[in-house]
Amino acid sequence: MGVFSSQHEQVVFCHDPHSGLRAIIAVYSTALGPALGGTRFYPYASEEEALHDVLELSRGMAYKNALAGLDLGGGKAVIWGDPEKDKSEALLRAYGRFVQSLGGRYYTACDVGTYVQDMDVVAKETRFVTGRSESHGGAGDSSVLTAYGVFQGMRAAAEHRWGTPSLAGRRIGIAGLGKVGKHLTRHLLEDGAAVVATDVSERALDWARATYPQVDLVGSNDELVASAIDVYAPCALGGALNDDTVAVLRAKIVAGAANNQLAHPGVEKLLAERDVLYAPDYVVNSGGVIQVADEIEGFNFARAKERAGRIYDTTKQILQVADAEGVPPALAADRLAERRMADVGRLRTILV
Protein backbone atom coordinates (compact mmCIF):
# COMPACT_ATOMS: atom_id res chain seq x y z
CA MET A 1 0.00 0.00 0.00
CA GLY A 2 2.05 2.93 -1.23
CA VAL A 3 -0.79 5.45 -1.39
CA PHE A 4 -3.36 6.82 1.01
CA SER A 5 -6.19 4.49 1.91
CA SER A 6 -9.55 5.97 0.98
CA GLN A 7 -10.89 4.40 4.19
CA HIS A 8 -8.75 6.54 6.48
CA GLU A 9 -10.26 9.76 7.79
CA GLN A 10 -6.98 11.65 8.09
CA VAL A 11 -3.25 11.15 7.51
CA VAL A 12 -0.83 13.80 8.76
CA PHE A 13 2.86 14.07 7.83
CA CYS A 14 4.88 15.79 10.56
CA HIS A 15 8.33 17.29 9.97
CA ASP A 16 10.52 19.41 12.22
CA PRO A 17 13.96 19.86 10.61
CA HIS A 18 15.62 21.27 13.74
CA SER A 19 14.91 18.21 15.95
CA GLY A 20 15.01 15.75 13.05
CA LEU A 21 11.40 14.68 13.56
CA ARG A 22 9.82 12.79 10.71
CA ALA A 23 6.50 11.28 11.72
CA ILE A 24 3.16 10.21 10.29
CA ILE A 25 -0.11 10.19 12.24
CA ALA A 26 -2.98 8.18 10.74
CA VAL A 27 -6.59 8.35 11.94
CA TYR A 28 -8.56 5.45 10.52
CA SER A 29 -11.91 5.97 12.26
CA THR A 30 -13.54 8.13 14.91
CA ALA A 31 -16.92 6.40 14.62
CA LEU A 32 -16.75 5.23 18.25
CA GLY A 33 -14.85 8.23 19.62
CA PRO A 34 -11.40 9.84 19.44
CA ALA A 35 -8.78 7.65 17.79
CA LEU A 36 -6.38 5.94 20.19
CA GLY A 37 -3.15 4.16 19.26
CA GLY A 38 0.52 4.10 20.12
CA THR A 39 3.56 5.76 18.60
CA ARG A 40 6.07 3.43 16.94
CA PHE A 41 9.68 4.70 16.70
CA TYR A 42 11.40 2.59 14.07
CA PRO A 43 14.19 2.91 11.44
CA TYR A 44 12.09 2.25 8.34
CA ALA A 45 13.92 1.69 5.08
CA SER A 46 11.79 4.32 3.33
CA GLU A 47 8.94 6.75 3.83
CA GLU A 48 6.74 4.42 1.81
CA GLU A 49 7.41 1.62 4.28
CA ALA A 50 6.61 3.92 7.20
CA LEU A 51 3.36 5.00 5.54
CA HIS A 52 2.34 1.42 4.84
CA ASP A 53 2.95 0.47 8.48
CA VAL A 54 1.01 3.38 9.98
CA LEU A 55 -1.98 2.82 7.67
CA GLU A 56 -2.13 -0.87 8.53
CA LEU A 57 -1.60 -0.30 12.25
CA SER A 58 -4.22 2.46 12.53
CA ARG A 59 -6.82 0.29 10.85
CA GLY A 60 -5.95 -2.51 13.24
CA MET A 61 -6.41 -0.17 16.21
CA ALA A 62 -9.95 0.71 15.09
CA TYR A 63 -10.90 -2.96 15.08
CA LYS A 64 -9.02 -3.66 18.30
CA ASN A 65 -10.69 -0.81 20.18
CA ALA A 66 -14.10 -1.81 18.88
CA LEU A 67 -13.80 -5.42 20.06
CA ALA A 68 -12.29 -4.30 23.36
CA GLY A 69 -15.60 -2.55 24.04
CA LEU A 70 -13.97 0.89 24.13
CA ASP A 71 -15.70 4.07 23.04
CA LEU A 72 -12.63 5.01 21.05
CA GLY A 73 -11.70 4.95 17.39
CA GLY A 74 -8.50 3.77 15.77
CA GLY A 75 -5.32 5.66 15.03
CA LYS A 76 -1.56 5.19 15.08
CA ALA A 77 1.63 7.14 14.62
CA VAL A 78 5.12 6.27 13.47
CA ILE A 79 8.33 8.20 13.97
CA TRP A 80 10.84 7.41 11.25
CA GLY A 81 14.26 6.98 12.84
CA ASP A 82 16.46 4.94 15.13
CA PRO A 83 15.22 5.35 18.71
CA GLU A 84 18.69 4.51 20.05
CA LYS A 85 20.30 7.35 18.10
CA ASP A 86 17.63 9.86 17.08
CA LYS A 87 15.36 10.15 20.11
CA SER A 88 15.68 13.44 22.01
CA GLU A 89 13.61 15.73 24.21
CA ALA A 90 13.26 18.24 21.37
CA LEU A 91 12.09 15.58 18.92
CA LEU A 92 9.52 14.12 21.32
CA ARG A 93 8.19 17.55 22.26
CA ALA A 94 7.94 18.55 18.61
CA TYR A 95 5.95 15.39 18.02
CA GLY A 96 3.72 16.28 20.97
CA ARG A 97 2.86 19.62 19.38
CA PHE A 98 1.72 17.87 16.21
CA VAL A 99 -0.50 15.57 18.31
CA GLN A 100 -1.93 18.62 20.08
CA SER A 101 -2.64 20.27 16.73
CA LEU A 102 -5.22 17.56 15.99
CA GLY A 103 -7.34 18.90 18.85
CA GLY A 104 -8.16 15.57 20.48
CA ARG A 105 -8.99 13.56 17.38
CA TYR A 106 -6.00 11.35 18.24
CA TYR A 107 -4.66 10.13 21.61
CA THR A 108 -1.18 8.65 21.54
CA ALA A 109 0.58 6.06 23.74
CA CYS A 110 3.64 3.78 23.80
CA ASP A 111 4.52 1.25 21.13
CA VAL A 112 7.68 -0.35 19.75
CA GLY A 113 10.60 1.98 20.43
CA THR A 114 8.72 4.30 22.83
CA TYR A 115 8.30 4.05 26.58
CA VAL A 116 6.39 5.65 29.44
CA GLN A 117 9.22 8.12 30.02
CA ASP A 118 8.87 9.23 26.39
CA MET A 119 5.14 9.80 26.86
CA ASP A 120 5.91 11.97 29.88
CA VAL A 121 8.02 14.16 27.58
CA VAL A 122 5.39 14.19 24.82
CA ALA A 123 2.83 15.23 27.46
CA LYS A 124 4.71 18.48 28.04
CA GLU A 125 3.27 19.66 24.72
CA THR A 126 -0.09 17.85 24.52
CA ARG A 127 -2.81 16.62 26.83
CA PHE A 128 -3.86 13.95 24.37
CA VAL A 129 -1.39 11.34 25.54
CA THR A 130 -1.76 8.15 27.57
CA GLY A 131 0.67 5.51 28.79
CA ARG A 132 2.41 8.00 31.08
CA SER A 133 4.36 7.01 34.17
CA GLU A 134 2.56 6.58 37.46
CA SER A 135 4.53 9.46 38.96
CA HIS A 136 2.94 11.71 36.32
CA GLY A 137 -0.58 10.42 36.91
CA GLY A 138 -0.51 7.75 34.24
CA ALA A 139 -1.11 4.03 34.08
CA GLY A 140 2.52 3.04 33.66
CA ASP A 141 3.79 0.32 31.33
CA SER A 142 0.90 -1.02 29.20
CA SER A 143 2.81 -4.22 28.45
CA VAL A 144 1.62 -5.57 31.83
CA LEU A 145 -2.01 -5.88 30.76
CA THR A 146 -1.11 -6.59 27.14
CA ALA A 147 0.58 -9.78 28.31
CA TYR A 148 -2.28 -10.56 30.69
CA GLY A 149 -4.78 -10.22 27.84
CA VAL A 150 -2.71 -12.44 25.52
CA PHE A 151 -2.61 -15.03 28.30
CA GLN A 152 -6.41 -14.86 28.65
CA GLY A 153 -6.92 -15.14 24.89
CA MET A 154 -4.56 -18.11 24.80
CA ARG A 155 -6.53 -19.78 27.59
CA ALA A 156 -9.76 -19.27 25.64
CA ALA A 157 -8.20 -20.81 22.53
CA ALA A 158 -6.91 -23.73 24.59
CA GLU A 159 -10.39 -24.38 25.95
CA HIS A 160 -11.86 -24.24 22.46
CA ARG A 161 -9.21 -26.61 21.11
CA TRP A 162 -8.58 -28.99 24.01
CA GLY A 163 -11.59 -28.56 26.30
CA THR A 164 -9.72 -26.92 29.18
CA PRO A 165 -8.32 -23.40 29.59
CA SER A 166 -5.33 -24.65 31.54
CA LEU A 167 -1.99 -24.54 29.73
CA ALA A 168 -0.32 -26.83 32.24
CA GLY A 169 1.80 -29.39 30.44
CA ARG A 170 1.59 -27.53 27.12
CA ARG A 171 4.69 -26.27 25.33
CA ILE A 172 4.45 -22.61 24.33
CA GLY A 173 6.78 -21.02 21.80
CA ILE A 174 7.32 -17.29 22.33
CA ALA A 175 8.91 -15.30 19.51
CA GLY A 176 10.15 -12.09 21.10
CA LEU A 177 11.16 -11.53 24.73
CA GLY A 178 10.53 -7.81 24.79
CA LYS A 179 8.27 -5.97 27.21
CA VAL A 180 5.23 -8.18 26.58
CA GLY A 181 7.07 -11.45 26.03
CA LYS A 182 8.71 -11.23 29.45
CA HIS A 183 5.41 -10.80 31.30
CA LEU A 184 3.77 -13.52 29.19
CA THR A 185 6.58 -15.93 30.08
CA ARG A 186 5.82 -15.43 33.76
CA HIS A 187 2.07 -16.05 33.33
CA LEU A 188 2.71 -19.24 31.39
CA LEU A 189 5.25 -20.66 33.80
CA GLU A 190 2.96 -19.91 36.74
CA ASP A 191 0.20 -21.81 34.91
CA GLY A 192 2.43 -24.86 34.59
CA ALA A 193 3.34 -24.53 30.91
CA ALA A 194 6.75 -25.19 29.42
CA VAL A 195 8.22 -22.27 27.46
CA VAL A 196 10.62 -22.22 24.51
CA ALA A 197 11.60 -18.80 23.20
CA THR A 198 13.78 -16.80 20.85
CA ASP A 199 14.76 -13.16 20.38
CA VAL A 200 17.11 -11.26 18.09
CA SER A 201 18.47 -9.35 21.10
CA GLU A 202 21.26 -11.01 23.07
CA ARG A 203 20.29 -8.80 26.01
CA ALA A 204 16.79 -10.33 26.04
CA LEU A 205 18.24 -13.83 25.88
CA ASP A 206 20.58 -13.04 28.77
CA TRP A 207 17.57 -11.85 30.76
CA ALA A 208 15.79 -15.16 30.11
CA ARG A 209 18.83 -17.22 31.13
CA ALA A 210 19.18 -15.27 34.38
CA THR A 211 15.49 -14.96 35.29
CA TYR A 212 13.95 -18.19 34.02
CA PRO A 213 16.66 -20.80 33.41
CA GLN A 214 13.94 -23.41 32.79
CA VAL A 215 13.00 -21.65 29.53
CA ASP A 216 14.48 -23.34 26.46
CA LEU A 217 16.10 -20.87 24.06
CA VAL A 218 16.47 -21.45 20.32
CA GLY A 219 18.52 -19.56 17.78
CA SER A 220 15.86 -18.23 15.44
CA ASN A 221 12.16 -17.84 14.80
CA ASP A 222 12.40 -20.40 12.00
CA GLU A 223 13.76 -22.93 14.47
CA LEU A 224 11.04 -22.04 16.98
CA VAL A 225 8.21 -22.44 14.47
CA ALA A 226 9.46 -25.86 13.33
CA SER A 227 9.94 -27.17 16.88
CA ALA A 228 7.49 -29.34 18.82
CA ILE A 229 5.25 -26.69 20.36
CA ASP A 230 1.53 -26.67 21.16
CA VAL A 231 1.05 -22.90 20.94
CA TYR A 232 2.95 -20.33 18.89
CA ALA A 233 3.00 -16.82 20.37
CA PRO A 234 4.45 -14.16 18.02
CA CYS A 235 5.36 -11.23 20.28
CA ALA A 236 7.68 -9.14 18.10
CA LEU A 237 6.96 -7.24 14.87
CA GLY A 238 4.19 -8.14 12.41
CA GLY A 239 4.04 -10.49 9.45
CA ALA A 240 5.11 -13.54 11.46
CA LEU A 241 2.61 -15.80 9.72
CA ASN A 242 3.33 -16.27 6.03
CA ASP A 243 3.11 -19.15 3.57
CA ASP A 244 6.49 -20.57 4.57
CA THR A 245 5.86 -20.27 8.30
CA VAL A 246 2.44 -21.90 8.17
CA ALA A 247 3.79 -24.76 6.05
CA VAL A 248 6.16 -25.91 8.80
CA LEU A 249 4.26 -24.73 11.89
CA ARG A 250 3.71 -27.59 14.34
CA ALA A 251 1.61 -25.69 16.87
CA LYS A 252 -2.15 -26.20 16.95
CA ILE A 253 -2.86 -22.70 18.30
CA VAL A 254 -1.48 -19.27 17.40
CA ALA A 255 -2.03 -16.58 20.03
CA GLY A 256 0.47 -13.77 20.45
CA ALA A 257 0.98 -10.09 21.13
CA ALA A 258 2.39 -8.92 17.78
CA ASN A 259 0.24 -6.70 15.58
CA ASN A 260 -0.66 -7.67 12.00
CA GLN A 261 0.58 -11.25 12.35
CA LEU A 262 -0.95 -12.36 9.04
CA ALA A 263 1.57 -11.41 6.34
CA HIS A 264 -1.09 -11.15 3.64
CA PRO A 265 -4.80 -11.89 3.05
CA GLY A 266 -5.36 -15.60 2.72
CA VAL A 267 -2.96 -16.72 5.44
CA GLU A 268 -5.92 -17.26 7.76
CA LYS A 269 -7.26 -19.80 5.27
CA LEU A 270 -3.91 -21.58 5.15
CA LEU A 271 -3.98 -21.86 8.93
CA ALA A 272 -7.51 -23.30 8.83
CA GLU A 273 -6.50 -25.82 6.18
CA ARG A 274 -3.72 -27.05 8.46
CA ASP A 275 -6.15 -27.19 11.41
CA VAL A 276 -4.30 -24.43 13.28
CA LEU A 277 -6.58 -22.36 15.52
CA TYR A 278 -5.75 -18.67 15.14
CA ALA A 279 -6.75 -16.30 17.95
CA PRO A 280 -6.92 -12.94 16.12
CA ASP A 281 -4.02 -10.75 17.19
CA TYR A 282 -5.94 -7.53 17.67
CA VAL A 283 -8.35 -9.30 20.00
CA VAL A 284 -5.90 -11.05 22.31
CA ASN A 285 -3.37 -8.19 22.44
CA SER A 286 -5.88 -5.49 23.37
CA GLY A 287 -5.05 -5.50 27.09
CA GLY A 288 -2.57 -2.69 26.63
CA VAL A 289 -5.00 -0.38 24.90
CA ILE A 290 -7.60 -1.20 27.56
CA GLN A 291 -5.05 -0.09 30.17
CA VAL A 292 -4.16 3.21 28.53
CA ALA A 293 -7.79 3.92 27.65
CA ASP A 294 -8.66 3.60 31.32
CA GLU A 295 -6.12 6.32 31.99
CA ILE A 296 -8.28 8.83 30.10
CA GLU A 297 -10.97 8.60 32.76
CA GLY A 298 -8.56 8.41 35.72
CA PHE A 299 -6.60 5.18 35.92
CA ASN A 300 -7.70 2.34 38.18
CA PHE A 301 -5.60 -0.81 37.74
CA ALA A 302 -8.16 -3.21 39.20
CA ARG A 303 -10.85 -1.88 36.84
CA ALA A 304 -8.53 -2.07 33.84
CA LYS A 305 -7.41 -5.62 34.69
CA GLU A 306 -11.03 -6.72 35.03
CA ARG A 307 -11.77 -5.30 31.59
CA ALA A 308 -8.68 -6.98 30.14
CA GLY A 309 -9.85 -10.25 31.65
CA ARG A 310 -12.89 -10.08 29.38
CA ILE A 311 -10.56 -10.83 26.44
CA TYR A 312 -11.09 -14.46 27.46
CA ASP A 313 -14.85 -14.15 26.82
CA THR A 314 -14.44 -12.13 23.63
CA THR A 315 -12.00 -14.68 22.20
CA LYS A 316 -14.37 -17.53 23.06
CA GLN A 317 -17.25 -15.70 21.36
CA ILE A 318 -15.23 -15.12 18.19
CA LEU A 319 -14.11 -18.74 17.96
CA GLN A 320 -17.69 -19.92 18.46
CA VAL A 321 -19.00 -17.52 15.79
CA ALA A 322 -16.27 -18.69 13.42
CA ASP A 323 -17.36 -22.31 13.87
CA ALA A 324 -21.07 -21.47 13.55
CA GLU A 325 -20.59 -19.41 10.37
CA GLY A 326 -17.91 -21.63 8.86
CA VAL A 327 -15.37 -18.81 8.51
CA PRO A 328 -11.82 -18.29 9.85
CA PRO A 329 -11.64 -16.60 13.29
CA ALA A 330 -9.97 -13.53 11.76
CA LEU A 331 -12.99 -12.94 9.54
CA ALA A 332 -15.43 -13.55 12.41
CA ALA A 333 -13.57 -10.97 14.51
CA ASP A 334 -13.61 -8.44 11.67
CA ARG A 335 -17.37 -8.87 11.25
CA LEU A 336 -18.05 -8.33 14.95
CA ALA A 337 -15.84 -5.22 15.03
CA GLU A 338 -17.40 -3.75 11.89
CA ARG A 339 -20.86 -4.40 13.27
CA ARG A 340 -20.11 -2.48 16.47
CA MET A 341 -18.50 0.43 14.61
CA ALA A 342 -21.50 0.67 12.29
CA ASP A 343 -24.19 0.21 14.96
CA VAL A 344 -22.73 2.60 17.51
CA GLY A 345 -21.29 5.03 14.97
CA ARG A 346 -24.75 5.36 13.41
CA LEU A 347 -26.06 6.82 16.70
CA ARG A 348 -24.31 10.09 15.88
CA THR A 349 -26.96 10.73 13.23
CA ILE A 350 -29.46 11.13 16.07
CA LEU A 351 -29.23 14.81 16.92
CA VAL A 352 -29.50 15.79 20.60
Residues serving a catalytic function are: 76
233 - beta bridge partners? Answer: 174
Whole-angstrom Cα distance, residue 49 to residue 91? 21
Strands 39-42 and 35-36, bridge-based pairing = unpaired
3-state secondary structure of 150: helix
Residue 235 and residue 181 in contact, taking contact as beta carbons nearer than 8 Å = yes
194 - beta bridge partners? Answer: 171
Neighbours of 212 (CB within 10 A): 17
106 - beta bridge partners? Answer: 35
Residue 246 and residue 270 in contact, taking contact as beta carbons nearer than 8 Å = yes
227 contact partners, CB below 8 Å, separation of at least 6: 173, 196, 218, 250
